[in-house]
Amino acid sequence: MTYKLVETARRIGPELEKTAAGDNTLRRLSDRTWHILMDNGFLRSLQPARWGGGEVSLMEFVDATMELARVSPSAAWIAGVIGLHPWQLALFDERAQQEMWGKDRALMHSSSYNPTGKAEKVAGGYRLSGRWSFSSGCDHCQGVMLGAICGAREERGKPIPDFRSFLLLRDQYRIDDNWQVTGLQGTGSKDIVVESAFVPEYRSQSLIDYAMNAPLPGQERNNGPLYRLPWSVVFNTALVASVLGASRGFVDSWISQTRDRKLSLGGKAADDAFMQRRLAETIWHIDATVTRLRADIVELWQMAEASTPVSMQLKARVRWNMNHGCELVADAISDLFRASTGRAVFVDHPLQQRFQDIQAAMAHAYLSPDALARAVGGFLLGASQPEFVI
């Protein structure tokens, strides 16, 4: 089945491919690239239909993001990461949704969930201060979602740090233009600096509630299956889709560069059995990870349709499948890169930027498979589990 958003991604692909180099030079998406994503429905694809959004299935969102990443990893990263924020806002109190979308339904947020800043509980809400890094697409957004820990909650007889998301508007923070990187330059993932900003209670949610499958205020009116999916899995899919799509784009370019390349000692690279083996293995890893990802999405969607809670064990397994799959794909891409021409190390070589984009994406903390491997193995062995948000 081919989704409408995927067809749109293929249609605009050539234009995004043309703007990609300029986006990297700017160290953010150009206004043109941003408007391509906005005008074609990518950034609002997970926004509730009652707010004018697409409210598409998670499968359509993931497939479209992969297609975008094949030609422009930075644009796809923004489409995926920024595109999931309307989905999360839909889980907030109706007052927060009205405040953000009441006057402008296309208002968008960037994010930085890593709790590097401080949150203090005060009368009526919270006060935030500090610095948050890696806020992709922040130059184009009118607000930001920030993560911070505020005290602790007792769950299952244990105190757990209360890891929360906070919604801020553009006049409550400044952007530090420090995004000087070698990959995904076009994402403009700069630092957010906050100085004593007040956030009302209704503009905050606890990730513990997400992890424990607690009812969320926004689900009362946004009650479709899309909004019953686990936050951790939805966020993870946006990152994974970019990695897998960018990897397919790397393979496309590698084939184009290798097909007619002459070897130094004579003959064609295309006739080299080791080249053929590395290419076949890379494609296998990509296809296997995509197949597993799609099967897991189908399973979770069916559970959401039936309002069946997703267990910690299943969330851990699904995220392990995604992240370990991407780990294997990235390793295969590295092998393929080493099998390419020595000229691939030059900054203007077509493979260089694509390779660096994949490495930059894989550096995201949420793509690490290590804690998930422990969780999956621990659940199967009946071992004690750390209390962390899966």
Say what the pLDDT of residue 265 is.
74
Residue found under tokens 């700017």: 26
Say what the pLDDT of residue 154 is.
85
Say what the pLDDT of residue 344 is.
85
Mean pLDDT of 149-162: 89
Inform me whether the pLDDT recorded for 388 exceeds 70: no
Least confident of 16-20, 350-354, 376-380, 384-388: 384-388
Average pLDDT, the chain: 95
Say what the pLDDT of residue 355 is.
98
Query: DSSP letter string over 271-303?
Result: G-HHHHHHHHHHHHHHHHHHHHHHHHHHHHHHH
- Please give the CATH topology (third level) of the domain spanning 4-89: Butyryl-Coa Dehydrogenase, subunit A; domain 1 (1.10.540)
Residue 117 binned pLDDT confidence (cut-offs 50, 70, 90): very high
Say what the pLDDT of residue 387 is.
58
Inform me whether the pLDDT recorded for 271 exceeds 90: no
Mean pLDDT of 135-153: 97
CATH 3.10.20.30 fits domain 108-205: no
Residue found under tokens 């979308």: 101
Say what the pLDDT of residue 250 is.
98
Q: Report the share of the chain in percent with pLDDT over 70.
A: 98
Inform me whether the pLDDT recorded for 42 exceeds 70: yes
Q: What spatial distance separates the first Cα and last Cα of the chain, rounded to whole Å?
A: 30
Inform me whether the pLDDT recorded for 190 exceeds 70: yes
**Cα dist. 387→6, 213, 313, 384 in Å?**
38, 15, 13, 9
CATH code that applies to domain 229-262+269-381:
1.20.140.10
Say what the pLDDT of residue 3 is.
84
Nearest Cα residue to 41 out of 17, 6, 91, 70? 6
Inform me whether the pLDDT recorded for 389 exceeds 70: no
Mean pLDDT of 32-41: 98
Least confident of 118-132, 176-190, 265-279: 265-279
Tokens of 255: 């084939």
Tokens of 12: 């605009």
262 strand-pairing partners: 268
Say what the pTM is: 0.96
Say what the pLDDT of residue 125 is.
98
- 240 in helix, strand or coil? helix
| 109-112 vs 143-155, strand pairing mode | parallel
Say what the pLDDT of residue 381 is.
93
Say what the pLDDT of residue 263 is.
78
Least confident of 9-23, 38-52, 190-204, 342-356: 342-356
Mean pLDDT of 313-335: 97
Residue 1 binned pLDDT confidence (cut-offs 50, 70, 90): low
**Cα dist. 37→32, 201, 337, 390 in Å?**
9, 32, 30, 30
Q: What is the pLDDT of residues 198-230, one digit of tens each?
A: 999 999 999 999 988 999 999 999 999 999 999
Q: Domain extents for the chain?
A: 4-89, 108-205, 229-262+269-381
Q: What is the pLDDT of residues 325-340, one digit of tens each?
A: 999 999 999 999 998 8
Say what the pLDDT of residue 294 is.
98
Say what the pLDDT of residue 390 is.
64
Which residue would you say has higher pLDDT here, 194 or 156? 194
Mean pLDDT of 157-167: 92
